[in-house]
Amino acid sequence: MILNELISWSDSQNIKEIKLNVYDQNTPALNAYLKSGFKKTMVEMHLLR
């Protein structure tokens, strides 16, 4: 519901792009965002030591 409201509000403000960050392992969030129309566009790589 919150995501749908954000999208509706951004449309009313003539905002053309919404970006978000989500961990690749967060499958439930990824699926929710994809279902809402978001597309995967970038892969970010990190080396943690």
The whole model's pTM is what?
0.74
- If one counts every other C-beta atom within 10 angstroms of the C-beta of residue 22, the result is 14
- CA–CA dist 6, 14 (Å, integer): 12
pLDDT the model gives residue 43: 87
Please provide residue 30's backbone torsions phi and psi, each rounded to the nearest 5 degrees.
-55, -45
User: Per-residue pLDDT for the chain (49 aa), expressed as one digit of tens each?
Assistant: 889 999 999 999 999 999 999 998 999 999 999 999 999 998 889 999 9
Pair 32, 3: CB distance under 8 Å: yes
Domain count of the fold of the chain: 1
Domain residue limits at 26: 2-35
Q: Is residue 7 part of a domain?
A: yes
